[in-house]
Structure 1
Amino acid sequence: MLRELKTFMAVARHGTFAAAGMHIGLTQSAVSSQIKNLEQALGVRLFDRTGRQAILNAAGVRALPLAREMFELFSQMSIPQKPDEYHGEMKIGAIASAQTGFLPQALLRLRRMAPAVEAKLVPGVSLDLLSQVDAGELDVAILIKPPFELPKELHVQALETEPFVLIVPMDVKGDDPLTILLEQPHVRYDRSSFGGRQVTRFLREQRIEVRVALELDELDAIVKFVENGLGVSLIPQAGLWLERDVNLRVIPLGSLTFHREVVLLMRRGQRDLPLHQLFARCLSKADPADDILYLPHS
């Protein structure tokens, strides 16, 4: 019945039989057949069908966390006790600034300690990565800490804290960040992103209405637009732009400084697994071989 549970979780995640089938490699009719088998075995319907949509009903909502728990428990039966005994794929989600920042060195450490593990890097924005970890599609993800409470099934470990600064073109005069924000066009950090929401809150608290010239989520692209004079921007000190000579001015926010927290996210039931603990150690910038692999609970 495990394949039916996997299909059930996929339909709950993607909302239609066709979309679920595309993600798990089944035809729509095979998905329909497996859901029918599961519902017959349980004696309850799990979805309300509306056109092509498959919406969890009350029984489905109750069954979903139990299905995830059962699937995780079964997966753990074949898990080795030592990281160097692991084989196969580890799916790691990561935001762009982590991919070009501390993640490459962490993956080198992981390869040295668990050489048979194939790391598969999945890029994405924080909200999408969170959803994929929650759905069991990623083993772990590096993302911005969400501005809301996470489900109890998810475990968060802090990695880095990045201060926001104001970046301005070289020809913009003055050093008062609030005055500059009021007077200059703004290259805005995407308001739908977790980091962008922090910028929105800061501007609201300072009662500043900016003139938006452009809005996007990619930090290094924002820096490039500011360098070319499109406007000023509030961004965290993260990304490849910190490793090169930039043609702009960086203005600290002083007492108004706020921060973006980068975290490692995984399902709570997997946080004690040796491979997950090893990867967390690899991200800590310490050499995993010099310390114990097991992390204390937090």
Structure 2
Amino acid sequence: MLREFQTFLAVCRWGTFTAAARHLGMTQSAVSDHIHRLEDFTGVQLFHRTGRSATLNAAGEALRPLAEEALQITDRMRTGHGAGQLRGSLRVGTITSVHNSLMARALVAFRRAHPAVTIRLIRREGPMAGDVEREEFDLAASVLPNLPLLRTIRWIPLFRKPFVLIAPAATCAGTWREAMAMHTFMGYDLSWSAGVQIDDFLSRMGVPLRDTIWVDYLDTMITLVASGVGVAIIPRTALGEFTGLVREFEFGADTFHREVGLLRRARPPNGGAIADAFIETLRDEVRREAFAEPLP
């Protein structure tokens, strides 16, 4: 009955047979057949069917934790034979700033250790807690959210990086404040948590903004600064090809940080052994990340 349990839990998560079929790659009639077989097996009806929606009734609510437990036990049986034997899939959302660096390295290392796991890595900006709650992602690499997390979501800290001000290497400024006064400032949009952090910092420091360019991506900011367009406040990062074209100014005792971590469900629906293994791989790679301070 494992397939039927999986289908049952999919309907629970996504609310309709049609949505469950789409996420599972099945037809709606196949989903209906699975639910009917499960109801025949348990001897009870599991859903209130009203129009297009399917809402759990009391019997369905009672079965849900048992179905989750059955799949967790099966997952442990399937993955309990040591490293390299994990099988299944993992969907990971990630912000741009770690997509091509930390996440890419972790993906290579994880794939070598667990070649039977299929991974889907999706770059996305903005809040991802809702995506994790809806199980579009098993994990999502994100900056620390500004808003309180949902009760069903856990925050797992990975690392933090200090913010620095970067300016063109040819600047005559002697301090970060002088650099801000002499050059056009390029800032993150305030819809981004980094933008809010930087805006709060400048307000506390009493630094007024004159000319401002709004830029959404870290790589773009570094390129523009190296080209002499202006200055920017960014999480400290390896400059690569722009080393020598960009000058860094630290904030000393006023330093503030960007924290990056993972969002995951508090109760993974299918055990979570694959996600656990990927998190450990990420933690190993964090130790190799430039300027990153690992977080417990």
Pair in the same fold by TM > 0.5:
yes
% identity of equivalent residues: 26
Using the TM superposition, give the Cα deviation of residue 244 of structure 1 relative to its aligned residue in structure 2, in angstroms.
Answer: 4.8
**SS of alignment partner, residue 174 of structure 1:** coil
1:76 maps onto 2:72 in alignment:
yes
Deviation per CA, 1:233-288: give whole Å up to 9, x if none: 111013x635652512111111111000111221122397332222121112279x
Contact map agreement 2:105 2:285 (CA 8 A) in 1: no
**1:72 to 1:199, Cα distance in 2 relative to 1, 3 A:** farther
Larger radius of gyration: 2
Q: What do you get for the CA RMSD once the two structures are aligned? A: 4.1
Q: Which 5+ residue runs of structure 2 have no aligned equivalent? A: 37-44, 287-295
Deviation per CA, 1:201-247: give whole Å up to 9, x if none: 11221233313532122101111111222221111013x63565251
Deviation per CA, 1:21-43: give whole Å up to 9, x if none: 8777689x99xx99xx9xx9644
Quote the residue 1:156 is aligned against.
155
1:224 maps onto 2:223 in alignment:
yes
TM-score for both structures, normalised by structure 2: 0.72
Quote the residue 2:259 is aligned against.
261
**1:20 to 1:44, Cα distance in 2 relative to 1, 3 A:** closer
**SS of alignment partner, residue 235 of structure 1:** strand
Quote the residue 2:90 is aligned against.
90
Deviation per CA, 1:108-153: give whole Å up to 9, x if none: 221232121122111112413x321122111112111112321232
Using the TM superposition, give the Cα deviation of residue 77 of structure 1 relative to its aligned residue in structure 2, in angstroms.
Answer: 4.6
1:137 partner letter: E
1:107 partner letter: L
TM-score for both structures, normalised by structure 1: 0.71
Residues 94-173 of structure 1 aligned to structure 2 (within 5 Å): 94-128=94-128, 130-173=129-172
Using the TM superposition, give the Cα deviation of residue 158 of structure 1 relative to its aligned residue in structure 2, in angstroms.
Answer: 1.8
**SS of alignment partner, residue 285 of structure 1:** helix
**1:286 to 1:102, Cα distance in 2 relative to 1, 3 A:** closer
Q: Which 5+ residue runs of structure 1 have no aligned equivalent? A: 288-297
Cα separation, 2, equivalents of 1:261 and 1:193 = 13
Quote the residue 1:292 is aligned against.
none
**1:78 to 1:145, Cα distance in 2 relative to 1, 3 A:** same
**1:161 to 1:245, Cα distance in 2 relative to 1, 3 A:** same
Contact map agreement 1:184 1:211 (CA 8 A) in 2: no
2:235 partner letter: P
Contact map agreement 2:90 2:275 (CA 8 A) in 1: no
1:111 partner letter: R
Contact map agreement 2:166 2:233 (CA 8 A) in 1: yes
Deviation per CA, 1:172-212: give whole Å up to 9, x if none: 32222234324432111232112222111112212333135
Quote the residue 1:291 is aligned against.
none
Count of residues in correspondence between the two structures: 268
Question: Greater relative contact order: 1 or 2 (C-alpha under 8 angstroms, separation 6 or more)?
Answer: 2
Contact map agreement 1:185 1:230 (CA 8 A) in 2: yes
**1:276 to 1:19, Cα distance in 2 relative to 1, 3 A:** closer
Cα separation, 1, equivalents of 2:172 and 2:47 = 69
**SS of alignment partner, residue 179 of structure 2:** helix
